[in-house]
Amino acid sequence: MYAIIRTGGKQYQVAAGDTLKVEKIQGEVGDTIEINDVLLVADGDNVTIGQPLVEGASVTAKIAEQGRAKKILVFKKKKRKGYQVRNGHRQQYTALTIEEVAA
C-alpha cells in the first residue's frame, strides 16, 4: 500500500517504513505528525484518486531528524564590469519515517 502526499509544495510517493527528506516541518525529533494532504492511495489493484484530496485518508510519520542540507554556492558575475558576488545556502529539512498509510 502506498500514497502520494503533498508537503512543502512538493509531492512524494510514500509507503510504510520509508524515510524521506521534506521541507522543514515544526517539531522535535521523535514527534509524531499526521499528514492529511493525501492525493492518491493505492492498495493493490484498488486505487483511490482524490479531487484534489482523498477524503478520510492520512499518513502518520515520525520525525527522524531535523537538519540542514549540504551547502550550495551561488556565484554571480558580470563580464568587464568588475562585479562578482559569491553566496552560500544551506536548506533546512526534516527527515520523516513513514509509520502508517491509512485510507
The region that residue 57 occupies, defined by phi over 0 for left and psi between -120 and 50 for alpha, beta otherwise, is beta
Q: Where are the domains of the chain?
A: 2-102
Q: What is the pLDDT of residues 26-75, one digit of tens each?
A: 999 999 999 999 999 999 999 999 999 999 999 999 999 999 999 999 99
**Mean per-residue pLDDT for 10-31?**
96
Whether residue 21 is predicted with pLDDT greater than 90 in this model: the reply is: yes
Percent of the chain exceeding pLDDT 90 equals 98
The bridge status of strand 32-35 relative to strand 2-7 is: unpaired
What's the CA gap between 60 and 51, in Å, rounded? Answer: 21
Whether residue 91 is predicted with pLDDT greater than 90 in this model: the reply is: yes
What's the CA gap between 21 and 88, in Å, rounded? Answer: 20
pLDDT tier at 103 (50, 70, 90 boundaries)?
confident
